[in-house]
Structure formats: C-alpha cells, structure tokens
Amino acid sequence: MTTVFHMNECIRKTKQGIPLTESEIRQLVRGIVPQHENERIPDYQLSAWLMAVCLRGLSDSEAIALTFAMRDSGQVLHWDLDGAIADKHSTGGVGDKTTLILAPIAAACGIYMPKMSGRGLGHTGGTIDKLESIPGFRTDLAPDAFRRQVREIGCAVAMQTGDLAPADKKLYALRDVTETVDSIPLICASIMSKKLATGADHILLDVKVGSGAFMKNNEDAAKLAKLMLRAAKADGKHCTAVLTDMERPLGMNIGNALEVAEAITVLRGDTASELGDFCITLAAETLAAAGMGDKASCREKALCAVESGAALARFAKMIEMQGGNPRVTEDLSLLPESACKRTLHTTSAGWITAMQSEEIGRASVLLGAGRMTKEDGIDPGAGIVLHAKNGDAVAAGSPLLTMYAAKESQLDEAEALLKQAIRITEKQPAPQPLIREIYSTGD
Ligand code: URA
C-alpha cells in the first residue's frame, strides 16, 4: 500500500465522520515530516484532510492521538531539576504581556519556567518581539545556554526552535493559507503538541475568548479548554485552563517596549491593577498546581515575591543573562520610544462600552508595533497607551489614548481605525470580569 492510498482513505474517512485509527494518525503525521521522501504527503492532500477536519471535526480520542503524534514528530525535552517545572501558553491576545510578569514571579517562588515563545503575527503580539525591544536582549539561545539559565535563575524565554513539534510548524503554515485555523481539535493538537514537548509538569493555558480571539464565545472556549486538559492528563501532566475576556485588550499598553514598561510597573509593585491582579492569580494557580500550598497561601507567596522586589530582581537577571540591559527595570526611559506621538480625546462624556481588541491590535500594527507577514520588520517603540478602558466613565475632552509611531502618516491611519473601535454611550455597561472560568485536571 502506498502512502498516497492511505491518505485518500484518511480524507474519505474524516469527510464521512469515520474515526481514524491511532496508527493512521501516526502515519499521517509521519507524512508531514517524513524521514524518507516516499512517505511525504503532498500539501494538496493534507489541505483536503484539514478542511475535512474543519467541517466534520475529530473525536476527542483522535484529537489526542494527533496531539501525541505531533509531539513526537521532534525532540521531547526532559529536565533534570530539583523543583517543579511549569509552562504557560496564551492562545493569542492584544496587550498580553503576562509571560514577562509570571515567569519571574514563579521563578522567585522556586518554580522553574523554561519558556519557548513566538513572534507576533496579525493583530496579536508575541512575547519574543516584546523582549527583543529591550536593548541587547537575545532570544536565540543555544540549547545549553537555555538549560543553564533555567537551572541558575529559574526562568528563560527563548524563541521556539524548529526541533520542537516540527509537524505543527508545517501544518500551521498550511492552515494559515487554507482557512483551516479555526478548528478546536486542530488548535488543541497544535498548542498541546508544543507544550507537551517542552517537558513541563504543570501547564497553564490562558484561553482567550471574544472578538479579538480565536474562540469567539464561552462555549467554544470551554470545549477547547476541556479538550486540552484531556490531552495533558492523558500525558500525565497537570493542566489548568483560564478562560479570559478578549473583548478588551489586556492591561493599558499595546506595543513591544510599551508592554515591557507595563510589565516592569507590575513587577515594581502595581499588583492592584487589573493586569497585576490577573498575573497574581495566574501565579497562584501555577504555584498551587505545583503543590506549594492552597490557592490563598500561593497568592500570598506570589504577592510577597513582588512586594519584596524578588520577582523584579529575577526579571533583571533574566535580561542580563540574555544580553539585555537590566537597568531598564530601574529606568524605563532606556526603552525605545517612537519619534511621533499623538493623544486622542473623547468628544462626549459617558461610559466606554466598547474598545474592540481586534481593531486596537490592527491599529498597533499600522503604527509599526506588529507585522502582517512574517517578513515584515517592527518598530519596537511603537504602539498605544490607553488612558481609559471598557467600563470607565469619561468626561468630554478627556484623554482616551496616546499613539506612538515613526511617522505622522501612520498616526493618521491608526487614528481612523481607532475611532471606529471605541464606543462611548450614556448608559453604564454591565461589568465584564476578566476571568470567565477556570478549569483544571485536578478538579
Ligand atoms: N496557537 C497555536 O499555537 N496554534 C493554533 O492552532 C492556534 C493558536
């Protein structure tokens, strides 16, 4: 039997809703990253199968088998450390700088956090771009340097290497151009194959819900979260999934250096802000999952790590070990800032009822903070600082946000988009909690 024949069978079965066997799924993944040329499955067949999955779905068992086969398509890391190892993943958001805050807090509390991250694409930002806005910071760590840093200070954030779940890299590129990204089993396999390959014992998933996210409603987000928990549990890992609101950006700053500045502000002690409180909650979940106490005492530990300055010191050490200037933690003016800036003001008094995160993300791309294609460059000092947010009362003529860009023409373009993204009404909107739900394999 040839590979092509098998693949036809796989496409037919998935198209008709007939489950694939584990062996078929393993062969399919082997055909994505073949060891021999005659095993290779052509892109047109893979694309047809992806579309069949999008339209018909996969059973949970098939999704988990796909996750495991993709995990095993490359290197699976093993750690020899004397403490709990945690990893965190966000399904992609606007203004999401939680890794920059969570990793040093967790490390200061005695948890190891080796973090592999990616660049931003489209309207969502990426942790690697954010960190690289710190002068000198390097994310292309050699495997030995990455391991050494994790062992010494508990945290490192590096660019994801091609050795980890390479089947996902290939499949994701195909999904991107064949309109097959929005499938719960495919998203689960993509995210969890990479998470399980990094060898952490505890995985924290931040599943974004809302107009700016892959999951547009609570029901789909809960389905995705529960499937990812099942995959983690089947691999013997502890996993927590937090469903968070992405109708609004996270925090007040959007853009690379601007987000680093906001992360430093939280690490300096601003734990009462919505972002600060969110990061403390994530840290408490991580510490509790690692057996460091109940959630209330873990929350205290996380707060203490910030208040004592231990978490900020850990972040400064991480910056130094990765070639950056650690003095940015003391002096935010060392971070880059774009040459042009403009503040938009409200034209009427009222309540901010909408600040659509997707549009805000797209405006930050127009300002130069993000990229639409992988080849685009970015301006590390560009972005948006919000002065008010969803649910806030505003007076007429009060500052709403400030934009930063290299050129005035970029400010003009972003201004037009931002004006459509923000709605102010006379009626106070109902408060929207940032955390909508928390699920855990331990429940
Ligand atoms: N993030 C991923 O890594 N993969 C997906 O499929 C979606 C979001």
Claim to verify: residue 114 and residue 229 sit in the same structural domain: yes
pLDDT exceeds 90 at position 314 = yes
Task: Say whether both 229 and 363 belong to one domain.
Answer: no
Tell me which residue range forms the domain holding 18: 3-57
- How confident is the model over 197-218, as a mean pLDDT? 92
In the block, residue with structure tokens 């503040």: 343
Of the listed ranges 36-50, 66-80, 114-128, 291-305, the least confidently predicted one is: 114-128
Which pLDDT does position 162 carry in this prediction? 82
Reported as a pLDDT band with limits 50, 70 and 90, residue 176 is: confident
Catalytic residue among 6, 30, 71, 89: 89
Q: In this structure, what is the dihedral angle of CA atoms 245, 250, 251, 257, given to the nearest 10 degrees?
A: 180
Q: Is position 77 within any domain?
A: no
Q: So what's the pLDDT on residue 128?
A: 94
- The pLDDT of residue 1: 43
Ligand 1 atom showing the smallest separation from residue 194 Cα:
3
Token pair of 74 as six digits: 């490359």
Structure confidence at residue 2 as a pLDDT band (50, 70, 90) = very low
Clarify whether residues 179 and 106 are in a common domain: yes
Q: 381 — phi, psi (to 5°)?
A: -95, 5
Ligand 1 center to 190 CA (angstroms): 6
Nearest residue (CA) to ligand 1, atom 8: 91
For the entire predicted model, the pTM comes to 0.93
Give the pLDDT confidence score for residue 322 in this predicted structure.
Answer: 98
Q: Which atom of ligand 1 is nearest to the CA of 191?
A: 3
Residue 5: pLDDT over 70: no
Ligand 1, closest atom to CA 118? 3
Distance of CA 147 to the CA centre of its chain: 22
Is the pLDDT at 267 greater than 50? The verdict is yes
Residue 350: CATH number of its domain: 3.90.1170.30
Q: What is the DSSP string of 9-63?
A: HHHHHHHHTPPPPHHHHHHHHHHHS-SSGGGPPPHHHHHHHHHHHHHH---HHHH
Q: Are residues 258 and 320 in the same domain?
A: yes
- What pLDDT was estimated at residue 3? 47
Could you confirm whether 190 is annotated as catalytic?
yes
Name the pLDDT band for 79 (thresholds 50, 70, 90). very high
**pLDDT(244) > 70:** yes
pLDDT greater at residue 125 or residue 283: 283
| For the CA of 186, the nearest atom of ligand 1 | 6
194 flagged as catalytic: yes
Same domain flag for 243 and 126: yes
pLDDT of residue 373: 76
State in Å: Cα 423 to ligand 1 middle. Answer: 30
Do 244 and 356 belong to one domain?
no
43 tagged catalytic: no
Residue 181 three-state SS? coil
Is 404's pLDDT higher than 70? yes
- What does the pLDDT average to over 70-74? 97
Q: Ligand 1: which of 181, 184, 207, 208 to mutate, judged by most atoms within 8 Å of the beta carbon?
A: 181
* 223, 99: one domain: yes
CA 98 to centroid of ligand 1, rounded, Å: 17
Q: How many helices (H) and strands (E) does the chain have?
A: 16, 13
Average pLDDT of the residues in 248-269 = 97
Lowest mean pLDDT among 60-69, 164-173, 395-404: 164-173
Spell out which residues line ligand 1, taking CB within 6 angstroms.
91-92, 172, 181, 186-187, 190-191, 214
Last residue of one domain, picked from the residues 20, 38, 57: 57
Query: What does the block give as tokens for 48?
Result: 């047809």
205 in the same domain as 135: yes
Note whether 186 and 307 are same-domain residues: yes
Which is more confidently placed, 281 or 173? 281
pLDDT at residue number 354:
87
Please tell me the total count of domains within the chain: 3
Mean pLDDT, the chain, as a whole number? 94
Ligand 1 center from residue 66 Cα (angstroms): 14
User: How confident is the model at residue 206, as a pLDDT?
Assistant: 96
The model's confidence at residue 42, banded by pLDDT at 50, 70 and 90, is very high
Q: Examine the domain organization and report whether 349 and 318 are in the same domain.
A: no
DSSP structure class, residue 160: P
CA dihedral 90, 96, 250, 344 (to 10 degrees): -150
- Residue 79 falls within a domain, yes or no? no
* Whether residue 252 sits in one domain with residue 151: yes
Distance 214 CA to ligand 1 centre (A): 9
Q: Nearest residue CA, atom 6 of ligand 1?
A: 187
Alpha-carbon distance values, 67 to 101, 189, 196 (Å): 29, 4, 9
Q: Write out the two tokens for 85.
A: 């190892």
248, 300: one domain: yes
Domain C-terminal end among 57, 78, 95: 57
Distance between CA 342 and CA 385 in Å, rounded? 10
Q: Which of the residues 123, 130, 175, 314 is marked catalytic?
A: 175
- CA of 44 relative to ligand 1 center, distance in Å: 21
Residue 168: active-site member: yes
Quote the percentage of the chain above a pLDDT of 90.
Answer: 87
